[in-house]
Chains A and B, each alone.
Chain A
Amino acid sequence: MDSVLHRSTRASVGRAGILNRLLTVMVGFGLAAALVAPAAAEAPRRPNIVIILGDDLGFADMGSFGGEIRTPNLDGLAKDGVRFTNFYTHASCSPTRSMLLSGVDTHLNGLGNMDEWTAPNQRGVPGYEGYLNDRVVTLPQLLKDAGYHTYMVGKWHLGKAPGQIPAARGFERDFSMLDGAGSYWDMTNFTAASPLTVFTEDGRYLTRLPDDYYATKTYTDKLISFIDAHRGDGKPFFAYVAHQAPHDPYHLPKDWRSRHVGEYDQGWDAVRQARLKRQVELGIMPEGTQLAERMWFLPDPVLLAPAPRAVLGKKMELYAGMVENLDFHVGRLIDHLKEIGEYENTIFIVFGDNGAEGNDLFKMIAGAPGTRDFLFAASKWSNTHPNAWGDPGSYVAYGPMWAQVSMTPFSQYKGWLAEGGIRNALVVSGPAVKRPKGSINGGLMHVADIMPTLLEIAGASYPKTVQGRELPALSGKSWGPVLAGAAESPRTAEDVLAWELFGNRAVRRGDWKLRWEYRSFGKGSWELFNVVADPAERRDLAAEHPEKLAEMIALWDDYVRTNHVVLPSRSPFETMEDQLPPRVPDDPGYPPLNQKKQFVPPQEMLAAPKK
């Protein structure tokens, strides 16, 4: 398979070789020089930067990535910019966010594990603080130092103590939800031990939320007010728009809930197939791409009765509404920037923070009957009637079947290190992008690249030390040459990406990916995939390529040493194998028992019984 990535890596390290690299460096410097020139009258203004993060937004959800969900505003950015199909995040929220804002590997920046899941053997270990530690410097801090206004709205999830909140980490203005999730309507959170979501505004902890609060709307309103309050002073701004949407629970204004009634009753397989078809037509995925197997514990939707299909479909209807509502508010921001004449000078970076959510978060947090968390859920989260879905007190998440749809064509979802957990859609638009508008690129990108890219664009540099402390090296690579059209990928075929979260592990180099996951999602041993030829990770090649396996394991070992990885002694997935049915292959049509249609004999052979 001659994939886009394959072409891109050939372009950067193949025939053109050194010359191409030189060109890349020169273009990169040129881009930076053009953008960071002193603010002389004739010098171009430095661009504004807007990062739009969709929480749990899937690879295939936006229309421009094959989704049937209507996202005209996000698609408009894609049309004005470039879509990247080989972009990696981490497998869950806070680790991705930590790398976005620090440019440093999670095991060094404090999010070696999520705060909620720090294992006993990780407690007190540097790199596992559960918040963005002070051994790293943040992107907003450096941009602020470089003369940018720095704004944040939305979900932070990188620490709640006064020294850890957005205002302490470089944001000049903020309206932030410090928790990882919660109600979209109020301050209700999930557990009896932590019943209230914590918010800050401009560095102060809020005692209540504004009137008429709805997360996606309020975040957008606040950001627009920040922009307006400071525009006119000539300084560009950096806005981190970390939307809570479309993370569960799917809380949604009523008029957004019923825009897809019945559309998903067809079931997840049909929607996945339709998305893949569109992805191939759009050029997002190459011809011949296979869908990942339907997770073995999910039924063929064709075998389900209409009512369960409708109930489960309604969950996807709500999710689609969440994404469309998110798109609507992104559109409000875009319109505002156009109105004030800033749109053309604004770089947009849009992506989802990890794979779509297929885990049952509510089950994890609501506890079992008889527990205090169950009592809390009964009191605060028991608005279970489908007609109440979207209201305060309702908790709807769409489950693994629709998460697989959101991650079409990949395997698995959030929390796991298959492509469905870590590969996401990326859109970049704005003045830094010199590639053809609406084009698609398959370069190997990573969320940690954003920090060096934006520092370069802003004319800032990454310091070696901060307050006498030596900073860890940035783990990402600037996209400058790629955005400028001078390179197809920021990485060569030798560059390595690696992940570890909850004990799951992965390494990617070139076309190859090494993966270790808890059973039954994984095998509890190393698996090897060619993710260019097999992006759905259907064929484990470990046995066929023992040399490659060994080579990749060596890379993993190096990653562990370099980043002080401490594999967790406990994991949210440690008992997964016991909870799920035994893994069986996904063979369409099996068993024929309940799929064979009624036999209809030839008409001419029909007869009534003889007397």
Chain B
Amino acid sequence: MRNEGWFRDWIGRNGVALATLVALGVLCAPHASAQMPARFYWKTLSGANAVPLIVNSMSGDTNPFDPALTVTPGANFEATLAMAGYARTFTLFDRSAMAAIILPMGRISGEASVASQTFSQPANGFGDLTFELDINVLGPPAQKNLVDALRYEPGFSLDVLVDLVVPVGEYDASQPLNLGQNRWYGRIGAPIVWQLGPWVQGRRTTLEFLPAVWLFGDNDDYVGQTLETDPMYQIDAHLTRDFTERLWGSLDGVWYTGGRASVDGVEGEKLDNLAFGLTLGYQIDDNLGLTVGYKSTVGDSAPDDLRMDGFMVSLVSGWHPLIEGAKRLKSAE
């Protein structure tokens, strides 16, 4: 037994702390249905779990609970949006996969004019439930065990992403401002993570893209009218860089186009907007990751332009039963 103890010490000195290799904080979860944060689609050990808590404070001329980002010219909304959810990684056909469920909640206030009527009633409660499935199709195979995790480097990874949003959120048909959207919608995307340089904590750099298309069903009861929205195309881009083993930052950009909304056949403007932002992330420990970000649209002075800015704070708790078990044994020594 003493020999085993000596060797354990030896591994501790000469090997690596495996837990740090599979720190689960990188497993963020969706925070704004319109844009995922940088590093969201990084892969981790299969069987890992995460519970995100994300808080956004946003303002602009669109309802942040509405991923179609329908612009209400002249409006000025203020929203506090929180999201809680659960995500789990797994292996599908030897590829990394992740499934998540997210429930938004919060409150929104402001004035909006629809069909010559002005509404100023605030809304609060729960939003629509989002289901997300992401499967890697190009890049390293799934991290099915610790050995795979040890050897993992993303290189150039490409996923296929499907979101489906179920209209279960609170909805008041008598006003345009709601947390629920009263229609089915979803997204198909292709998250890309491109590793630049070494894959070493403290030195990682990535370029990340998420081209996606949002598809919307109709809202047949939008203040007594029908809201239709064309498909919206979106490209998220992030340049991320580790500053230390725990601290990282990201330059974020997003381009929206399409998504022309029409109310009872009266068409609005299609989107063609850019937003830029910054994100700082900090891995508090093996289980807890914190990000703080700000994002704002640019070139948004015209009344019909999408105008939106917001702060975001996310706290994501991640765990894997194997790692937690190892920690329990170690702490019991």
**Given the contacts A306-B146, A307-B146, A388 and B7 also touching, CB distance less than 8 Å:** no
Contacting pair A311 B6 (CB below 8 A): no
Contacting pair A386 B150 (CB below 8 A): yes
Top 6 A-B residue pairs of the complex, sorted by shortest distance between their CB atoms: A307-B146, A388-B200, A310-B147, A581-B2, A385-B200, A581-B3
CB of A561 within 8 Å of the partner chain? no
Contacting pair B16 A384 (CB below 8 A): yes
Shortest CB distance B106–A (Å): 39
Provide 29 A-B residue pairs closer than 8 Å at the C-beta atoms, listed in order of the A residue: A265-B147, A296-B3, A297-B3, A297-B6, A299-B4, A305-B146, A306-B146, A307-B147, A307-B150, A308-B15, A310-B150, A311-B15, A311-B150, A312-B11, A312-B14, A312-B15, A315-B14, A383-B200, A384-B16, A386-B21, A386-B150, A387-B198, A388-B203, A391-B198, A397-B14, A399-B10, A399-B14, A581-B3, A582-B2
Q: Which B-chain residue is minimally distant from A254 (CB atoms)?
A: B198
Which chain B positions have C-beta within 8 A of A307? 18, 145-147, 150
Shortest CB distance A402–B (Å): 11
Q: Name the one of A265, A299, A391 contacting B7, with C-beta atoms under 8 angstroms.
A: A299
Shortest CB distance A125–B (Å): 36
Interface size classification for chain A: 20 to 34
Q: Name the one of A299, A385, A388 contacting B3, with C-beta atoms under 8 angstroms.
A: A299
Q: A387 to B5, alpha carbons, bound, how many Å?
A: 27
Query: Across the A-B interface, how many residue pairs have beta carbons closer than 8 Å?
Result: 70
Interface, chain A (partner B; CB < 8 A): 261-262, 265, 296-299, 305-312, 314-315, 360, 363, 383-388, 391, 397, 399, 580-582, 584
Which chain A positions have C-beta within 8 A of B146? 305-307, 310
Contacting pair B6 A580 (CB below 8 A): yes
Q: Which B-chain residue is minimally distant from A299 (CB atoms)?
A: B7
Q: A399 to B10, alpha carbons, bound, how many Å?
A: 9
CB of B13 within 8 Å of the partner chain? yes
Q: Which B-chain residue is minimally distant from A395 (CB atoms)?
A: B14
Give chain A's interface secondary structure class.
loop
Shortest CB distance B325–A (Å): 12
Most buried by B among A262, A388, A582: A388
Which chain A positions have C-beta within 8 A of B2? 581-582
CB of B304 within 8 Å of the partner chain? no
Contacting pair A360 B16 (CB below 8 A): no
Q: A57 to B58, alpha carbons, bound, how many Å?
A: 64
Contacting pair A363 B13 (CB below 8 A): yes
Scan residues 171-204 of chain B and give those whose CB is less than 8 A from a CB of chain A.
Answer: 198-203
Contacting pair A387 B153 (CB below 8 A): yes
Which chain A positions have C-beta within 8 A of B3? 296-297, 299, 581, 584
Shortest CB distance B286–A (Å): 15
Scan residues 42-100 of chain B and give those whose CB is less than 8 A from a CB of chain A.
Answer: none
Contacting pair A310 B151 (CB below 8 A): yes
Which chain A positions have C-beta within 8 A of B4? 299
Binary A-proximity of B213-243 (CB < 8 A = 1, otherwise 0): 0000000000000000000000000000000
Q: A391 to B199, alpha carbons, bound, how many Å?
A: 12
Contacting pair B151 A261 (CB below 8 A): yes
Most buried by B among A261, A312, A383, A386: A386
Shortest CB distance B152–A (Å): 9
Question: In the complex, given contacts A262-B147, A360-B14, what are 9 additional A-B residue pairs having Cβ atoms less than 8 angstroms apart?
Answer: A305-B146, A307-B146, A308-B18, A310-B151, A385-B201, A387-B199, A388-B200, A391-B198, A580-B6
Q: Which A-chain residue is minimally distant from B201 (CB atoms)?
A: A385
**Given the contacts A297-B7, A360-B13, A306 and B145 also touching, CB distance less than 8 Å:** yes
Contacting pair B6 A581 (CB below 8 A): yes
Q: Which B-chain residue is minimally distant from A388 (CB atoms)?
A: B200
Contacting pair A385 B7 (CB below 8 A): no
Q: Which B-chain residue is minimally distant from A261 (CB atoms)?
A: B151
Scan residues 1-43 of chain B and give those whose CB is less than 8 A from a CB of chain A.
Answer: 2-7, 10-11, 13-16, 18, 21
